[in-house]
Amino acid sequence: MLKLNDNFLRLSDSYLFTEINRRTADFQRQNPDKKVIRMGVGDVSLPLTPTVINALHSATQEQADAATFQGYGPEVGYKFLKQAIADNYYALRNIHFDLDEILINDGIASDIANFPEMFSDDAKVLITDPVYPAYLDSNTMAGKEITMLSTTLYPTVSEQINHLKTTGYQPDIIYLCYPNNPTGLALTFAELGQWVEYANKEHAIILFDAAYEAFIQDEDVPHSIFEIEGAKQCAVEFCSFSKSAGFTGLRCGFTVVPKQIADGKLLHNWIRRVCTKYNGAPYIVQRAAEAALSKQGRAEAIENIKYYLQNAIILREGLAEIGLTVKPRQNSPYLWVNVGMPSWDFFDMLLSKYAIVCTPGVGFGKAGEGFVRFSAFANRQLTQEAVERLKNNK
Ligand code: PLP
């Protein structure tokens, strides 16, 4: 008998997007004349900016000439991109890293999903619920003991930490994602500081997903966990160019592992792992990411972020028309809406009445039941059209 990894049997079916597509296709079949508007997707709609495109062109040209051709690059990423990250991403916020603490990847999904293998089999994992499903699935595959912490039941960080203390549960690994997918919530310096203090006290590690960092507008919200004192002792950070610079298709991100953690052993092991299991992100993509971090690249990216944030404002006003209040949020492309009924019932209602698709919150975890997620990543025209429908048909 082939000895398969039985942990895969513990995975729940990842049917969220399949089910959304099935119900949408059924609706479209029955209503061929209706134009469905998808307000659920987490993918960007704006093209890459001119500075990124120029960098792609010139890096491609380099590949055409034997004198500048690049073959295999460093598995951990080219120095030019690590330097751009150290200077234009971290040093701007007064955070300083050695270049070997920064590792380039092809987007953070794989690094996040591969990180559980850095820890012992009996390491206990805490995951907030609702959240991006990869944390739960990758730890399930790795056979870890997982506890979900409902941020619906315990909305504030104080309540969450108190809950851990009263139940006596002590996690070794804590996944945090802020601004959060799907809730859009961001943590202030003080709130994230509570997690850092807790992790240091309990000797836990925080795996911090900063995928939506670029959407942060509030002054009291940190962009990086390393803006918090003590975080270099207890946190690893995952940053992506996907949402900040539209790289969802191009694929580039970076993981930062401070050398302070476990006397440098975590960094050492992670580098060892990367060099064994990965052969590096493409040269031309890394040149594009470097360009995205240039002064001009960042200015262009900010314009795109503003566009999505404006979509979010338009959408929020539209939802108010049908009696759904969404707290004003300035730090996220997602609107997380309490719909007062099961998530899938609302999904069906919205589809049949308005031909609009949202994402049922329960797909992001049990604690997401009763909520749906709207995304501001659609283009402006579709966002406005969706809002018009809500206004006219209410
Ligand atoms: N983390 C979160 C919270 C996300 O929502 C996503 C993608 O949607 C990712 C990570 C994956 O990002 P990447 O495109 O860099 O793999």
Q: In the chain, where are the structural domains located?
A: 14-43+297-392, 51-294
Bridge-partner residues for 104, per DSSP?
254
| Positions in the chain whose pLDDT score sits under 50 | none
Reply yes or no: is the peptide bond before residue 328 cis, omega within 30 of 0: no
Tell me how far apart the alpha carbons of residues 204 and 174 are, in angstroms, rounded to a whole number: 7
What's the distance, CA 135 to chain centroid? 11
Whole-number pLDDT of residue 18: 87
Whole-number pLDDT of residue 41: 85
Ligand 1 pocket member 132 (CB < 6 A): yes
Whole-number pLDDT of residue 289: 98
Span from the CA of 65 to the centroid of ligand 1 (angstroms): 35
Tell me how far apart the alpha carbons of residues 336 and 170 are, in angstroms, rounded to a whole number: 29
Ligand 1 pocket member 225 (CB < 6 A): no
Tell me how far apart the alpha carbons of residues 36 and 386 are, in angstroms, rounded to a whole number: 9
Residue 332 · residue 326 · CB < 8 Å: no
Ligand 1 pocket member 105 (CB < 6 A): no
Ligand 1 pocket member 250 (CB < 6 A): no
Ligand 1 pocket member 354 (CB < 6 A): no
Residue nearest to atom 13 of ligand 1 (CA): 107
Ligand 1 pocket member 188 (CB < 6 A): no
Residue 46 · residue 380 · CB < 8 Å: no
- Angle among Cα 381, 386, 390 to the nearest 5 degrees reads 145
Q: Fold for domain 51-294?
A: Aspartate Aminotransferase; domain 2 (3.40.640)
Whole-number pLDDT of residue 321: 87
Tell me how far apart the alpha carbons of residues 341 and 360 are, in angstroms, rounded to a whole number: 11
SS3 state of residue 279? coil
Whole-number pLDDT of residue 394: 58
Span from the CA of 189 to the centroid of ligand 1 (angstroms): 23
Span from the CA of 210 to the centroid of ligand 1 (angstroms): 9
Which CATH superfamily is 14-43+297-392 part of? Aspartate Aminotransferase, domain 1 (3.90.1150.10)
Whole-number pLDDT of residue 86: 98
Contacts of 352 (CB under 8 A, 6+ apart): 27
Q: What percentage of the chain exceeds 90 in pLDDT?
A: 94
Best residue among 108, 308, 332 to mutate for probing ligand 1, ranked by most atoms within 8 Å of CB:
108
